[in-house]
């Protein structure tokens, strides 16, 4: 049984904040509201598209929305978000090299993200990263989403792995909680989108970036010889 690495997407593998801000801002402006900077958009990530819209509305001033208007905004954003091609999104430093290193070591790899699966596939394909992954578990792929452990376990299973020899790599409190609940070692990468102090989240390790990450994954492999 080989090691399976499960990666979060937004804020971990890819910096997508500018593109997401560009998608939501025309909708917010059309409602007479303010718009988001990429950093503000990043602070709204973590629990899927609907929660992103709710958090975005709480950040920008403007007229209150009726329930019907809120439902319509969520539907419109979800539809655009699922199909939009990346313009500004880029992998974080050393991500492609790390994925290539993991693949060379024979490990399985999966993406576990609250982003819809279709949007995830579109993004990874456009950035020439999709070929590294054995599976994608999006926010609409499993019975529940992160931080529920079933989402992490779904990603592991789709990749043909086993929970007893898997590691989760993420950037946020959502990832830390999901990994802990799933019973897998969790590495949090600094520089992502979380608003919390990473040291307070109970991760197995915290790293400044992807440089040297493959060696750390080998060190933490629950199934390696000790």
Residues noted as catalytic: 8
Peptide bond into 147 cis (omega under 30): yes
How remote is the C-alpha of 54 from its chain's centroid?
A: 18
Beta bridge partners of 205: 187
- The phi, psi pair for 218, rounded to 5°, reads -65, -40
Q: Going along the chain, which residue ranges are E strands? A: 4-7, 14-15, 90-91, 108-112, 135-137, 166-170, 186-189, 205-207
18 three-class SS: helix
Tokens standing for residue 57:
């509305």
Taking 3-state DSSP, the helix, strand and coil percentages for the chain, each rounded to the nearest 5, stand at: 45, 15, 40
């Amino acid at each position: 049984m080989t090691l399976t690495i499960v990666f979060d997407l937004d804020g971990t593998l890819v910096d997508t904040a500018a593109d997401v801000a560009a998608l939501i801002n025309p909708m917010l402006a059309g409602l007479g509201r303010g718009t988001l900077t990429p950093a503000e958009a990043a602070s709204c990530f973590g629990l899927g598209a609907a929660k992103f819209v709710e958090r975005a509305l709480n950040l920008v001033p403007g007229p209150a929305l009726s329930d019907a208007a809120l439902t319509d905004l969520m539907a419109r954003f979800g539809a655009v978000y699922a199909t939009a091609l990346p313009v500004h999104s880029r992998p974080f430093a050393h991500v492609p090299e790390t994925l290539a290193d993991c693949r060379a070591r024979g490990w399985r790899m999966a993406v576990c993200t609250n982003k819809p699966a279709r949007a995830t596939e579109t993004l990874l394909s456009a950035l020439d990263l999709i070929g590294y992954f054995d599976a994608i578990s999006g926010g609409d792929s499993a019975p529940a989403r992160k931080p529920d452990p079933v989402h992490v376990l779904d990603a592991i299973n789709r990749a043909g792995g086993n929970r007893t020899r898997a590691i989760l790599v993420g950037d946020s409190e959502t990832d830390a909680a999901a990994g802990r609940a799933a019973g897998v070692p969790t590495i949090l990468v600094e520089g992502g989108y979380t608003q919390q102090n990473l040291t307070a989240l109970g991760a197995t390790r915290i790293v400044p970036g992807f440089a040297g990450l493959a060696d750390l994954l080998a060190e933490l492999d629950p199934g390696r010889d000790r």
